[in-house]
Chain A
Amino acid sequence: MSPELEELRRLGESAEPVQAALDWAVAVGRARLLELHDEIEALRFSEEWRRDATWQQLRGPEAALSVAELASARTVAQAARALDHHVGDAITADDVIRAAQEHGARWLPKLPQRLVRNRWNNHWRLGRELVRRGLAEHPTDPLYHEQMITQIGRVYASLTDDEALREEIWSFFQSDRLGLVMGQHDLPAERSMHRTPQWPDEDLFWRAALAALAQVGRVDRVRLHRATLAGLAMDAPWVRVRWYGAMLDQLNCTIDEIASETGSYLALLRSRNPKAVAVGQRAVKALLGADRLRPEEFLDAADAPLYGTDKATALAQIKMLEGFLATPAWRDDALTTLLPALGHRNLDVQRAALRLVARHADAVGDGLRKQIALAAEGLAPSLRTELLVAPSPPAPIVAVVVNTETMPGPLDDAAFVQVAALMLEDQARPIEIDRAIEAMLRICGYPLEQQRALVEPLLRRAGDPAVARTELRGWTAGCIRLLAGDTLASTNEAERVGELLLMEVWQAIKRGVARPYIAMPTRPDGSIDAATAAERRRAVPAGVGPGETIVAALRADDGRDLLRFDGIHVVIDADRHRLTTQGVPFSFAGSMSTTVEVAGVTPEREPWSGSYTVGTEVHHYVTPGRPLITGAAGVLVTLTALGPRPFGAGAEYLEWLFTTLPHHPDAIVIPLAWAIADDMEREPTAFLPSRLNTILDHASRPGRTVGGCASIVAAMALGAKAAGTRLRAIDCVSVLVRDKGVDVGAIAGPLAQLLTEQAVKPSRVAGSLADAAATDPRLVRDIVLPLLPSILGLRDAHRLLDALTEAIALTGPAAVPAEVHELATRKGASKLIQSARHLVAVSASAP
């Protein structure tokens, strides 16, 4: 450490370390300071400086070092860094000014702007002081105002003393983030224990301060009112605008003030934020009550809340319009304004609007009557008859699957290079990978020169270390290099069938002997025609390709014979739970277990863990990490043994599994019950591929075998959190019942169990079914009717009844269970009873 810095360290321990350091800097001189700057910056965390001192003991030396760093700064960035390094508040604006001016530094005017860049620092007051004294430029960064909000200290006192600061309020009202930052500041402050007589509300939080300043005339109240309304009208989530709502409450505006901003309050009715709409509705109601708003002005804007999705604001708006309907002069205009409510998503809103429209429909002219008829198309089918409008027939069912898949032929040499390029980037689909393997086992028999010429365009990428990091990409890169003649070592051990298969291909390429790929699918779902598989097996010498043979046995229509070929002794050792191969130059030791028939069983939620299991009889087989698979051949391997990627890696891996076990999708689905349940409560993001979606997609694809569990999963997914998943579930249920011959009871049964065990939310299921009712009412009716007796006691059960009612309105009369009839006859006006009454009425009168 330089002697000057030794001296600085000593001065840092004095009573006035900052002043001592400033004097020290003068004594050292600018030229020497500049030389020392790098050493000063590096010194902060060195033991040479710290000398085992505690943080408390270092406070003085740290402040002295920051002053030295500041005084030696050449640039504004260095100066800002010096202050950022300073932890406390010992360095004042005067100190900074002295450090800059005594050393002729030119960074001072830009310092506040630079300090703002560090969102987390605490230097707003320092920057503000420099600006106030005219020594620095006013920062243009919006963060300056955000820091002002959080670092101002006593809000009311600071604003009272500083007129220029009060003027800045209007600048930060222009920021879209103001509501958020104010909310973050005020909300904790309002709840804080700091609310003491020493810290009145006006000093603690902004909305109280601004209202108080407006009260005493130091802030323009009219301007504040208008700016608050503008913020509230912003098209943003409530969290970003709720502060404006609180500010408006704090202002407690008079009717005159509200009347002066009529346009802004009417604009709030057009907001997409229900709470902002509610504020607008309250003001408009007050204006109408005080006769301060012309009816035509109101009616022009009054339809907006009826186009939204919020029930409460729509009902409130209908209530307001009801008053105008009673006035003959405004009846037609009010009725026209009301019509969008007939197409509202919520049935209660539709009913409320329908009641008013039906009351006045007879008295209106032909033009308006036509408009009513058009708007009535938006009504739920069960309500249309009340306007004497026949329910439209259900829309034709959209055939949701169009792409019939065909199995492409073998890859030619050029196409292989193309697919190999995809595999190097992890972009190849499962069947493409199999086709590439088939091509590799052919190409490896070519003369070496020909092989090398073929794969040469891929060699650079294959040699990239980044490619080798993932298993399949790394394996592909290795195979390409082997084809190019590189000498690469190979392993003789595999723990999973998939690894075994890849190892065999690697060794075949290395040996350079072309042969058929035994496990090559003959159909796009991954399955193999049994005769073709057997023929390939016969074409391959004994002892070659046990892994391929196992996969072929799993894929083949009947693969039992495949495992009986001489030389491939796949021994099932039930006692030792090991699958071993003999007579081949490598060992395989995948886990296995005794046979279990996997039946379609409904997942159950475990009360203690909240996770799902699939029934006690198979419970012990489906613990994560050791689930079981039964192949067509009766060979049992664990899911983990299939590989090549780690179990549970996501959608891509699941697709690979489905093509490896095309005849036994349940064997994949059941062990994943816990993961599926997890997916149900999650919004899938780009980083979390949903296994649930992959399973639903698989079940919906043409030509795919569907196990008993597909219908269970589809039933579960009807109550998924993600709307996209619920859409998939509707499609899947429709395909299962319509195209794949699944009995609708196989959906309804598990759904009833899931609902009664509260494993899925009735409101979500009802939403899914209500959407489906428009195009496939018969399906919805057949699913919901059997549920009825068991779900009537559930919360939101009325929504399921409503979905059923709409389905019955489109399909015709249906026998509703006695429990619903009994419910409908009960006294009371609960939603459930009302829905039951409506269902009974519609089921008796439906066309």
Chain B
Amino acid sequence: MATGGLTYRYGAASSVIDDGRLVGLSTFTPDADITDPTFFRGFVERPDVVAAGLLAVAKVAASRYFEPFSMIARRIELADPVVTSDGQRLRFESFSQCCGVHARLDLDPPMLTGSFTGPGTTNVDVNPPLREALARVGARDPMALAVGTDDLTVTTLDGTVVEKKVPLPERWVKGFGETQVLQSRLRPHIALEGVGVRRLLGSLPTRSKDALWIAQVGRSARVTARPSAGAVSLSGPDRIDALAPLLRLARSLTIYGLDSSPGRPAATAWQLDLGDARLTLTVSAEPSRGFSGEGGLLSSLVSECAVDVADQVDALVAEQPFTTATALGPSLGLGADVARDALDVLAASGRVGFDLAAGAHFHRVLPLGTDALRRLNPRLATSEGLVAAGAVTFDADGRRATVRGGDHHHVVTLAGDTVLGATCTCPWWAKHRGERGPCKHVLAAVRVRTQNAAAVTESGR
């Protein structure tokens, strides 16, 4: 997958070939010397589902649901969806251009009949002609799927290299991490089938500035403007627009929400069950909030222990299609908390995702190590700078820390050993009230507190 603002380079353009029977998805070649990655070649059980699902993922990648003033003149180029194969299933993912919506199409093993060449993650080229061809795919059209460049270059005898310059894929990497953390905390709140799904999506206003609340009532759901028990929020209903074309193919809809934030708009995930496939749209708490800036991972990234074991966890996660923090802990002799933090560390570089239906993490093969954490999380890097400069001093009770920077200081009040419940007097915290992750001062204070506790334990020995 392209990172750091590289240029996508495809061995050929994705297209529908072989007289419309083979959908060839061209994969990104990270290095000219490396053979083009090929993930799958075979048939799909429900061509209409796969085609509509791919179009939905591509639509999200092409959509911008929030446009700040500063972006009106500067449009971000379209980024291509990412495909991940674990050797049994395929997952296609994308983020909207505002990074506030994440789409994922999961194709389970029964949907795919053919050969996998191994696990991997890369971008796939989704171009206008391919989108047009996918739109024409009907339920009865037999469809073969080739994820890789070989078939395209061989079948079309067209060796034309396709290049696209996409400047901001790092936002996607950060978004992968944040959605993983979020999804692992989401719980199913609403489950609808058939008419109930349609009625709910039909009753949502197309536009609404304020958050709407959706609550389960019997076999249907009701949309209200104020929160109620068990309700999930949705800000910017147009952001789940990509679900609509798949409505006629869906068996059920499950809406996942957070248990911990009743009464406040929060991120939600909308999952359509399409048989042996699922389309999941995860939407941020507000249209103006992109996942890449949520800062939900930072609390785990301050755990030095988790960073230390991240590579071991990575190796273990890569061996199996699904894993959980509770299952990982005993395998490595770690507590579940450390295992969870380690998974978050991996997620911060996009190497771990979360499957809501399975309730477990899955692996992505990305060429990013833990050394990228600081680059991707400037708040973390700045907090480390504060710690290194000795800017953090604690009161006698150990709850309040003074974090100095230049000619001023801020006071951090901790509620425990982690960033949870911590507050700071800095303007950034005042603006976001901790909803977009901890500020650099809180991170620095927690890190120092952890170091102090470790030193006390060490001296006790």
Contact = CB atoms under 8 A, between A and B. Distances in A.
Contacts of A377: 194-195, 219
A54 B224 CA distance: 65
Interface in B87-136: 127-129, 132, 135-136
Given A174-B129, A230-B132, A731 B138 contact: no
Interface residues of B, number: 63
Contact of B140 (A296, A425, A427, A723): A296
A422 B228 contact: no
Contacts of A660: none
Interface stretch (A555-563, A572-580, A622-630, A681-689): A681-689
B400 interface: yes
Contact of B205 (A233, A427, A724, A775): A724
A417 B229 contact: no
Interface in A398-431: 398-403, 414, 417-418, 421-422, 424-425, 427
A414 B263 contact: no
Contacts of B263: 402-403
A421 B427 contact: yes
Interface in A331-376: 340, 343, 345, 374-375
A233 B136 CA distance: 9
A395 B207 contact: no
A233 B225 CA distance: 34
A743 interface: no
B244 interface: yes
B189 interface: no
B140 A398 contact: no
A602 interface: no
Interface stretch (A5-13, A158-166, A455-463): A455-463
Interface stretch (B142-150, B322-330, B428-436): B428-436
B32 interface: no
B interface secondary structure, majority: mixed
B413 interface: yes
Nearest to A345: B202
B135 A267 contact: yes
B260 to A, nearest CB: 15
Interface string A441-463: 00000000000000011111100
B245 interface: yes
A690 B431 CA distance: 22
A427 B433 contact: yes
B225 A414 contact: no
B207 A683 contact: yes
Given A272-B245, A377-B195, A684-B209, A728 B202 contact: no
A660 B141 CA distance: 67
B430 A422 contact: yes
Contacts of A697: 226
A401 B205 CA distance: 21
Given A296-B140, A378-B195, A378-B199, A421 B429 contact: yes
Contacts of B402: 457
Interface string A822-845: 000000000000000000000000
Interface string A376-403: 0110000000000000100111111111
Interface in B194-215: 194-195, 198-199, 202-203, 205-210, 212-213, 215
A377 B195 CA distance: 7
Contacts of B433: 422, 427
B224 A731 contact: yes
A297 B431 contact: no
A235 B245 contact: yes
A730 B20 CA distance: 51
Contact of A399 (B203, B228, B244): B228
A737 interface: no
B228 A457 contact: no
A789 interface: no
Interface residues of A, number: 70
A303 B199 contact: no
Interface stretch (B358-366, B372-380, B404-412, B451-459): B404-412
A771 interface: yes
A270 interface: yes
Contact of B198 (A343, A417, A700): A343
Given A263-B136, A267-B135, A375-B195, A418 B228 contact: no
A400 B228 contact: yes
A270 B218 contact: no
A771 B407 CA distance: 59
A425 B430 contact: yes
A398 B429 contact: no
Given A307-B247, A402-B262, A425-B430, A267 B136 contact: yes
B288 interface: yes
Contacts of A113: none
A437 interface: no
B208 A396 contact: no
Contacts of B430: 421-422, 424-425, 427
Contacts of A400: 213, 224-228
B6 to A, nearest CB: 18
A378 B202 CA distance: 12
Contacts of A259: none
Interface in B390-447: 400, 402, 407-411, 413, 423, 425-427, 429-431, 433
Contact of B218 (A395, A399, A421): A395
A374 B425 contact: no
A233 B288 CA distance: 30
A417 B425 CA distance: 7
A846 to B, nearest CB: 20
B198 A307 contact: yes
A20 B60 CA distance: 56
A343 B192 CA distance: 15
Contact of A340 (B217, B223, B248, B427): B248
Contact of A731 (B199, B205, B206, B225): B225
A264 interface: yes
B357 interface: no
Q: Which of B219, B231, B402, B426 has the most CB of A within 10 A?
A: B426
Contacts of B139: 300
B210 A724 contact: yes
Contact of B425 (A174, A235, A458): A458
B220 interface: yes
A690 B225 CA distance: 14
B424 to A, nearest CB: 8
B245 A270 contact: yes
A819 B209 CA distance: 41
A722 interface: yes
A309 interface: yes
Given A233-B132, A235-B245, A727 B429 contact: no
Interface in B301-336: none
A398 B195 CA distance: 19
A760 interface: no
A60 B169 CA distance: 50
Contacts of B227: 400-403
Contacts of B185: none
Contacts of A421: 425-427, 429-430
Nearest to A230: B132
Contacts of A71: none
Given A421-B426, A425-B430, A398 B248 contact: no
Given A400-B224, A686-B209, A424 B427 contact: yes
A727 B205 contact: yes
17 contacts: A230-B128, A266-B138, A296-B140, A304-B248, A340-B248, A343-B199, A377-B195, A400-B224, A400-B225, A403-B227, A457-B402, A683-B209, A684-B209, A696-B225, A724-B210, A728-B226, A775-B222
| CB-based closest 3 A-B pairs | A723-B205, A724-B208, A395-B217
Given A303-B248, A727-B208, 16 more contacts: A176-B62, A263-B138, A266-B138, A272-B245, A300-B138, A340-B248, A377-B219, A395-B220, A395-B222, A400-B228, A417-B411, A418-B413, A421-B427, A724-B207, A727-B223, A731-B225
